[in-house]
Amino acid sequence: MSTFKAPKGTYDLLPPDSATYLAVREAIAAPLRGSGYGYIETPGFESVELFARGVGESTDIVTKEMYAFETKGGDRLALRPEGTASVLRAALEANLHKAGNLPVKLWYSGSYYRYERPQKGRYRHFSQVGAEAIGAEDPALDAELIILADQAYRSLGLLNFRILLNSLGDKECRPVYREALQTFLRGLDLDEDTLRRAEINPLRVLDDKRESVQKQLGDAPLLRDYLCDACKAYHEEVRELVTAAGVVFEDDPKLVRGLDYYTRTTFEFVHDGLGSQSAVGGGGRYDGLSEMIGGPALPSVGWALGVDRTVLALEAEGVELELPATTSVFAVPLGDEARRVLFAKVTEMRKNGVAADFAYGGKGLKAAMKAANRSGARYALILGERDIEQGVVQLKDLESGEQTAVGMNEIVAELKSRLG
Ligand code: AMP
């Protein structure tokens, strides 16, 4: 062990587990790629101000959890705590919304950073795959994103997740509700911090996980009863489209989520095997965000799914992903000349699309065969001095144990045909 350890709240992704992470990212991305979402990558840090304005001055993410710092040049930057604000910033900066093809549909995958109290499922460095559809107000788009996330989870074999759905209203109806909620909250027995939050962002109090607070919220007014006709109709349409797609959800009138930018549709994917950190993903519509960061009005919708928690959900359900072996052939040279000859063969195989690995370090036959078995390869290629003289190589099927001599010049074609 070295003197150093991974920083608190972080962990290293190592083989073989890391293969599961890659497969999860891939599974979440696949339905997006096939549905018109283009890949976007933005910097790991942005101006602090982007998140303050975008995510919200009063959110925990901005007030407590941001890794903010000043550069030597005097810029105030922050490691990104989430993806949406950056993606929208990038789309606006590149004028993607002016190319005359709305919505701009983008997907991303990357690391995010929040200075949170670490626990299982909650880390200071975590990984998300996300999708944003920018510049269209269309309930079918909200439905599409919910359906694609559902499809991604199902393709992984997950079953015990639930989709919670709500509408947060818009700039017409939400302020009216906000007032009503505030009036209600002022009458409760709440600590000072919570009362302050009730004044700045009362909806977030609904999200308070503490029993003492939840107990008092039983009679809280619900946004559902305050939605204006346009929001009601929009929400109803989203619900119908999702239902028609055979995707089951639960209406959750108290779902608000921890970011300020959401309007209308909000949803969360929760998994029941994860204990307190049960949200595996979430998203919603953010019609006002573009204007909040200085852009034009661009109604948009998106989500982000947490890769770490999705992997934990797989573990909780006992789902083992079927990960194809990465190496098909493992080459075992016996002696110096065999090493040169076989190494050249390995290179030839790789060029021909046969995934091959090699016993490095001058191992003896026994250790090399052990490495071959551990590699997951279907075949071992063993080359000794006598084989070289005869112009053959030993091809061993590691599943059946069967071994045959194959001509050196035929072996690549033989392997290609055997591996299909
Ligand atoms: P949010 O941006 O807070 O809605 O988060 C979206 C998803 O990212 C969550 O549902 C989690 O799966 C994941 N996530 C958020 N924060 C963390 C964290 N600190 N550690 C691990 N995953 C997280």
Judge residue 104's burial from the number of C-beta atoms within 10 Å of its C-beta, 0-12 exposed, 13-18 middle, 19 or more buried. buried
Residue range 402-419, pLDDT digits in tens: 999 999 999 999 999 999
pLDDT of residue 58: 74
Tell me how far the alpha carbon of residue 178 is from its chain's centroid.
32
- Residue 340 corresponds to which tokens in the numbers above? 């040169």
Query: DSSP 3-state assignment of 81?
Result: coil
Structure confidence at residue 163 as a pLDDT band (50, 70, 90): very high
Q: Which atom of ligand 1 is nearest to the CA of 81?
A: 2
What average pLDDT does this structure show over 213-226?
A: 92
Please name the residue ranges forming H helices in 260-410. 289-292, 307-317, 336-351, 365-374, 385-390
Mean pLDDT along residues 246-270: 89
* CA of residue 240 to ligand 1 center, whole Å: 28
DSSP lists the bridge partners of residue 130 as 108, 304
Residue 265 and residue 239: Cα distance in Å, rounded? 10
Reported as a single tens digit per residue, the pLDDT across 225-255 is 999 999 999 999 999 999 999 999 999 988 9
258: confidence class by pLDDT, cuts 50, 70, 90: low
Where do the domains of the chain lie, and which CATH numbers do they carry?
A: 18-173+227-317 (3.30.930.10), 329-419 (3.40.50.800)
Beta carbons of 48 and 78 less than 8 angstroms apart:
yes
Tell me the per-residue pLDDT of 57-86, one tens digit each, with 9 for 90 and over.
Answer: 778 888 899 999 999 999 999 999 999 999
Model confidence, pTM = 0.93
Note the pLDDT of residue 259: 66
Distance CA 131, CA 302 (A): 5
Identify which of 259, 309, 310 to mutate to test ligand 1's pocket (most ligand atoms within 8 A of the CB).
309
280 CA distance to ligand 1 middle (Å): 7
pLDDT of residue 256: 83
Q: For ligand 1, which residues put their CB under 6 angstroms from it?
A: 82, 114, 116, 121-123, 126, 128, 257-258, 279-282, 304, 306, 308-309
* Residue located nearest, by CA, to atom 10 of ligand 1: 281
